[in-house]
Amino acid sequence: MQLMSTIQSAKTAPALLELSAGNWRLAVLVGLVVSALAVVALPASGSFWVVGAMSALVAAAFAVNAYRRRYYGGLLVAPAIAVLFVMNIFPLLWSLGLSFFAYQSNLQSIRFVGLNNYIKVLTDEVAAPANWNALINTAMFAVCTVSVQMIVGFLLAMLFAKQFPLRKYLLILVLTPMMLSVVASGVFFTYYYDPTFGILSYVINSLAGGQFIVMDSKAGAVAGIVFADAWMWSPFVMLLVLAGLVSVPRYLYEAAAIDRVSAWRRFWSITFPYIRGLLMLALLFRTIEAFKLADLVIVLTKGGNDTMTISYHLIRIANEQNKTSEGAAISYIILFIVIVLTNLYLYVANPKNREA
């Protein structure tokens, strides 16, 4: 019996591939419908296998079709798209599905609840305050650390914007913090901040005269985390801004020197237009990364002193408390915020919109 079905499936698979390669738009449609049915009707692990098989079939059909029609471009791109689909896009779709169900990863029951998860995480008397608090903390962290990074990164870039002796060697010194792992620097910042033997506390103590514990209050803890994060990632902003500064053609400055344009004016009308786009890109990346701020918090405060961020909160809810679908709902709310922010940035960065 087992043998028979194996033989049959070995025969039907190429035929199925043949059929779907010919009508691959139809194959995508069938794949989507079967996947949607599987997600609704089967428990999570079962639906994974069905959706996985469907997407593999559709990808194979696409590849066969592309090869026959000599779409080499499609063939070359297909593996990358397949990997991204399996590891990024499919998980995202799956969690979108899960956010409409009541599901806990430690229980097998699954039940459709529509938008209830979203309503619960935003308005529930028990669950919502912690979520809102984490979200507000994240926003605060994002504003503080991104603005510090932009300023420090910009100033560093101005320093490195000219060619001077030993430039290459000095640049690598500034780039090193970015290469340290968050854990490595985070762990050592706990060492610097330590009230008894920490170097930073030692300096503050000997200056102020009294005992000062950096991580003891919310303001101190926030400042400590922002300081460490900004120190690590300002070099990233610097690299982007530097790329812009280096690309400004010299003859513009020479012309400005002849016309005796003031330094301020020179910056606004020559330099700034060249780095505006890259500044926006830096701002965009750093803001998105700020939503990820969890590792430093885990290492430095473990969420103590009201420094819980949304990422860390989400990990706790989904991984430690097993409230999977609530976590999925929260992550989609974050995704929504990030998409809105991204589009806002792109809108502002677009010169056409700016001139209008």
Partner 1 sequence: MTDRVSFWERIGFRSVGGIAEAGWGRTLVVAVVSFIYFLPVLFIIFTAIKPQGLALSVPPTLSPTSFFGLIPDQFVFTPTLDNFASVFSRVMTAGGQPESTGFDRFFFNSIVIASASVLLALVIGTLAAYGFSRYPLKGNDTYLFIILTTRMLPAIVVIIPVILMFRAVGLSGSYLGIIMLYTAFNLAFTVWMMKSFFDELSTDVEDAARIDGSSEIKVFFKICLPQVIAGLAATFVFGLILTWNEFLFALLLTGPDTRTVPVAMNQAVSSGGRGTDWTLLAAIETLFLVPIFLATFFLQDHLLRGVTFGTVRK
Between residues 19 and 171, which has the closer beta carbon with respect to partner 1? 171
Is 236 within 8 Å of 286 (Cβ atoms)? Answer: yes
Q: State how far the alpha carbon of 102 is from the alpha carbons of 17, 48, 117, 135, 173, in Å.
A: 36, 17, 8, 23, 51
Closest distance of CB 167 from partner 1, Å:
8
Element (H, E) at 110: strand 110-112
The answer to whether 127 touches 326, Cβ cutoff 8 Å, is yes
Q: What is the rounded distance in angstroms from the CA atom of residue 145 to the CA atom of residue 227?
A: 8
Using the minimum distance from each CB to partner 1, give the nearer residue, 8 or 350: 350
Give the residue from 95, 26, 148 showing the smallest Cα distance to 317. Answer: 95
Tokens for 274? 């060249």
Residue 71 CB, shortest distance to partner 1, in Å, is 7
Select 261 or 280, whichever has its Cβ closest to partner 1: 280
Question: How many beta carbons lie within 10 A of that of residue 157, not counting itself?
Answer: 26
Task: Provide, rounded to whole angstroms, the least separation between the CB of residue 331 and partner 1.
Answer: 4
- The strand pairing partners of 101, in sequence order, are 112
The string of DSSP codes covering 232-257 is HHHHHHHHHHHHHHHTS-HHHHHHHH
DSSP 8-state assignment for residue 109: -
CB-nearer residue toward partner 1: 20 or 47: 47
Nearest distance, CB of residue 7 and partner 1, angstroms = 26
Q: Which is nearer to partner 1, 7 or 89 (CB)?
A: 89
Least distance to partner 1, CB of residue 355, Å: 11
Least Å distance, CB 233 to partner 1, is 12
Tokens (6 digits) for 215: 């991580």
- Judged by beta carbon, residue 124 or residue 295, the one nearer partner 1 is 295
Which C-beta is closer to partner 1: that of 7 or that of 346?
Answer: 346
Residue 59 near residue 75, CB atoms below 8 Å = no
**From the CB of 279, what's the least distance to partner 1, in Å?**
10
Query: At closest approach, how far in Å is the CB of 295 from partner 1?
Result: 5
Report the residue number, 124 or 289, with the smaller CB distance to partner 1: 289
Contact between residue 111 and residue 327 where contact means Cβ atoms under 8 Å apart:
no
With 0-12 CB in 10 A as exposed, 13-18 as middle and 19+ as buried, what is 225? buried
Q: Give least dist CB 123 to partner 1, A.
A: 21
CB-based contact 271:245 (threshold 8 Å) = yes
Residue (37 or 155) nearer to partner 1, CB: 155
Phi-psi region of 109 (alpha: psi -120 to 50; beta: other; left: phi over 0): beta
